[in-house]
């Protein structure tokens, strides 16, 4: 999964368009994801960058979680 997240940064669709915005939109549409629009794209991009760093060294692991604010 870490490698797939890292590869997402350069992945393109059949027509050459980046898939990152589509993946971000799909993640943002999930009920428990507090992201939308540009914030979702930026978050998925940053997760991909972290994954790329982690996958370079097989000993590193990547943990991703989201938090919600209680009122």
Domain-located, residue 71: no
Is pLDDT at 63 greater than 70 in this prediction? yes
Number of domains in the chain: 1
Cβ–Cβ under 8 Å, residues 49 and 43? no
CA distance 33 to 52: 22
Three-class SS state of 40: helix
pLDDT tens per residue, range 17-58: 999 999 999 988 887 777 778 888 998 899 899 888 886 666
State residue 18's pLDDT score.
Answer: 94
Domain-located, residue 19: yes
CA distance 34 to 28: 7
Range of the domain at 26: 2-56
Domain-located, residue 66: no
Position with higher pLDDT, 2 vs 48? 48
pTM reported for the whole predicted model: 0.73
């Amino acid at each position: 999964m870490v490698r797939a997240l890292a590869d997402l940064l350069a992945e393109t669709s059949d027509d050459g368009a980046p898939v990152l915005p589509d993946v971000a939109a799909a993640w943002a549409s999930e009920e428990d994801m507090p992201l939308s629009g540009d914030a979702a794209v930026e978050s998925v991009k940053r997760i991909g960058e972290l994954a790329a760093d982690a996958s370079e060294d097989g000993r590193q692991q990547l943990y991703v979680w989201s938090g919600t604010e209680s009122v």
